[in-house]
Amino acid sequence: MVRFARASPVLGAIILLLTVLGTVGWSSEGVLEDIPAPPSADRAVFADEPLPEHRWTGVVTVEATVRWDRDDVWVAIVDEAEVERCANEPISAFFQRCVSTDLDAVAMGEAGTGEDGLTWVVRPGVHYAGYGSVEAPPDLSMDIEWEVHARLNGAATAMLLLISVGLFAVGVLERVHSTPS
Q: Where are the beta strands (DSSP E) in 20-59?
A: 26-36, 45-46
Whether residue 178 is contained in a domain is answered as no
Alpha helices in the chain (DSSP H): 2-24, 80-87, 154-178
138 located within any domain: yes
Range of the domain at 105: 26-151
Give the separation between CA 73 and CA 44, rounded to whole angstroms: 10
Q: Give me the CATH number covering residue 84.
A: 2.60.120
The predicted pLDDT at position 177 comes to 74
| Domain membership flag for residue 114 | yes
pLDDT in the model for residue 107: 93
Q: Is the dihedral angle over the CA atoms 98, 103, 106, 111 positive or is it negative? A: positive
- pTM recorded for the entire structure: 0.76
Mean pLDDT, each 10-residue run in order, the chain (181 residues)? 72 90 91 81 84 85 91 90 86 70 90 89 92 75 90 90 89 74 57
Report how many domains make up the chain: 1
Q: Write down the pLDDT at residue 138.
A: 67
Residue 181: predicted pLDDT:
57
Q: What is residue 126's predicted lDDT score, i.e. its pLDDT? A: 93
Tell me, yes or no, whether 159 lies in a domain.
no
**What pLDDT, on a 0 to 100 scale, did the predictor assign at position 91?**
67
